[in-house]
Amino acid sequence: MCGIVGAIGERNVTDVLIEGLRRLEYRGYDSAGLAVVDQGAVVRERQPGKVQALADAAHAADVHGRLGIAHTRWATHGAPTQCNAHPHMSGDIAVVHNGIIENYESLRERLQGEGYVFTSQTDTEVVAHLIQSELKQGGDYFQAVRRAVAQLHGAFALGIVRACEPDRLLAVRQGSPLVVGLGIGENFISSDQLALLPVTNRFIYLEEGDFIELARNRVSIWNAAGEPVRRPAVELDATLHASSKGGYKHYMLKEIYEQPAAVQRTLNGRISDGRVAVDAFGPQAAELLAKARHIQILACGTSYHAGYVAKYWFEAIAGVSCHVEVASEFRYRTTVLPADTLIVTISQSGETADTLAALREVKARALGALCICNVPTSTLVRESDLAFITHAGPEIGVASTKAFTTQLVALMLLVLATGRRQGTLSAERERDIVQQLGTLPALLDGVLALDKDIERIAEEFGEKHHTLFLGRGAQYPVAMEGALKLKEISYIHAEAYPAGELKHGPLALVDNDMPVVAVAPKNDLIDKLKSNLQEVRARAGVLYVFADHAADVRPEAGIKVFPMPSVADEVAPIVYTVPLQLLSYHVAVIKGTDVDQPRNLAKSVTVE
């Protein structure tokens, strides 16, 4: 999704801006641009395509200056062309913008009436002209920007520079992420702190509605009410954020292989005496978990699939009713919450616009809000009553992998803690499941050893246009996650079904050109699932089955079986996720797609 970097310093900031944009590339974008203030003029470069094209153009033109803003754009309003790339300008004003200006059409009409000429199809260009229009009404630059921002509706973050103001970078955070990075004699803004790690590890996390003025030696902040405020600076352990491919061909593969260690980190410090540590979810958790009569999980994409697995666990293990819904639907429908509902949001980034909006909509009606998140400094963590940090480490590949498996571990810990507080789970069963969780790193290592076998069969998917994924019980959301992985990085259409639904429609799709992937651990439903697989085989569908020895799925013509380790039913979804990640990865490599930055997608979806 779009990214912002801004800098003011004593040195030429062009390289800081470009390096910052490079670090935001993983989020997904389709054009890039920058503007620096140099000797009373704004110098702008914009390029469709990769940041490298922008870097080449900026260096060829010797763009330099001590104040600048830069942007990677993920097209929403208008195609990914040079004209639509940010920064957008009006006279001597340049603006970069993340988010959406909802009232841009009426503002555009009004500004066109005032004689402003638009050169892009974006909603952003109105901001530049609106500031210019306000400047013409009189008053100083700062007040003009404030008046302009007050007229904008929607969720946005802005960075603004002006040719005749070489000592000020103005910025606004209103619904889209923005942080301030603090340097010595230089200061920065970015939509993602990762962009600024080469230049600082000290950050100020802004609140909604904050208005910021950066000078070289000063950061001034006003809150939504216009009052000057001080926000604390936080120092990050930069080593935690090291992000390189470490010898792997893609971040996604590296992150798949990091899962044994990531899962171990999620468990570290959360287990005490063979049970979930009392304060693993924070000091007030004990009371909230004891009182909760219902759990409402809200999330998007992969995080939603993690929540879907947890729904099975909450009801089967903790005996607490649980609903799960995609946040983009929940936020806009009229919802009835059962009394004493605990909201559980799940998000890798903690910045997903729909998840945040759903939380804000429901929070006042709920018993409390707990989030499971990978980014401790995120908006979601700050706006929740309780937060559990997964410690997966930075996830750069757009396709979520280690974020998902660590979310599942976190959710299982939450289920156990809830069962204990509700008195519905025996200490013995809790210890047994905790012990199973402890075996996960070794089990995942075992599954990763299947990599070469999976790579070999991936060839068979390369020419296919559709694939079905089947599972039953808590393995159904694992199948959903497998289908999402395949479609997002290999662009092969993939659907997941609970296998019992096959004969209610999707069986009509099955023929010898339709690969069908099934996750089939030995459990109470294995015989039912095997009957469903026979239904596929009888229609000449080709089956790829991940099954353990006890499941007793026999390989034969048209049925390939991948031997999975024996694993307890409760943690099987975590283990069976990994071969599906590997499958989609190898299919994407064979198809030659952009594995880490698949087309049209963004890592962190900060607009709805």
| Residue ranges that bind ligand AGP, judged by CB under 6 A | 300-303, 347-349, 352, 355, 398-400, 484, 488, 604-605
Q: Name the residue type at position 107.
A: L
- At residue 328, what are phi and psi to the nearest 5 degrees? -65, -25
In the bound state with ligand AGP, the residue whose beta carbon lies nearer, of 300 and 387, is 300
- Least CB distance to ligand AGP at residue 525 (A): 26
- Least CB distance to ligand AGP at residue 596 (A): 11
CB–CB of 590/458 below 8 Å? yes
- Least CB distance to ligand AGP at residue 480 (A): 11
In the bound state with ligand AGP, the residue whose beta carbon lies nearer, of 407 and 523, is 407
CB-side neighbour CA atoms (13 Å) of 495: 13
Catalytic site residue from 254, 311, 402, 603: 603
- At residue 421, what are phi and psi to the nearest 5 degrees? -65, -30
Catalytic site residue from 2, 300, 322, 373: 2
End-to-end CA distance of the chain: 11
- The CA-based angle 351-491-495, given to 5 degrees, is 85
Instruction: From residue 354, give the alpha-carbon distance in Å to each of 179, 323, 357.
Output: 20, 17, 5
* CA dihedral (2, 12, 160, 53) positive or negative: negative
In the bound state with ligand AGP, the residue whose beta carbon lies nearer, of 116 and 257, is 257
What CA–CA distance (Å, rounded) separates 86 from 169? 16
Q: Strand pairing partners for 560? A: 544
- Least CB distance to ligand AGP at residue 139 (A): 40
The residues, any chain, with a CB within 8 Å of residue 531's CB and separated by 6 or more, are none
Number of other CB atoms surrounding residue 287 within 10 Å = 12
In the bound state with ligand AGP, the residue whose beta carbon lies nearer, of 1 and 169, is 1
In the bound state with ligand AGP, the residue whose beta carbon lies nearer, of 381 and 605, is 605
Q: Which of 98, 14, 28 is nearest to 56 (CA)?
A: 14
- Least CB distance to ligand AGP at residue 398 (A): 6
- The CA-based angle 469-472-476, given to 5 degrees, is 55
Q: Name the residue type at position 219.
A: V
Number of other CB atoms surrounding residue 213 within 10 Å = 17
Annotated active-site residue 591? The verdict is no
- Least CB distance to ligand AGP at residue 413 (A): 18
- Least CB distance to ligand AGP at residue 555 (A): 30
Q: Which of 76, 191, 172 is nearest to 127 (CA)?
A: 172
CB–CB of 314/296 below 8 Å? no
Which residue is listed with tokens 């061909």? 249
In the bound state with ligand AGP, the residue whose beta carbon lies nearer, of 45 and 488, is 488
Q: Name the residue type at position 293.
A: R
Which residue is listed with tokens 């013509």? 557
Annotated active-site residue 371? The verdict is no
Q: Strand pairing partners for 275? A: 272
CB–CB of 584/490 below 8 Å? yes
In the bound state with ligand AGP, the residue whose beta carbon lies nearer, of 357 and 543, is 357
Q: Return the residue nearest ligand AGP (CB atom).
A: 301
- Least CB distance to ligand AGP at residue 552 (A): 33
- 488 by DSSP, 3-state: which? helix
In the bound state with ligand AGP, the residue whose beta carbon lies nearer, of 530 and 586, is 586
Q: Known catalytic residues? A: 2, 603
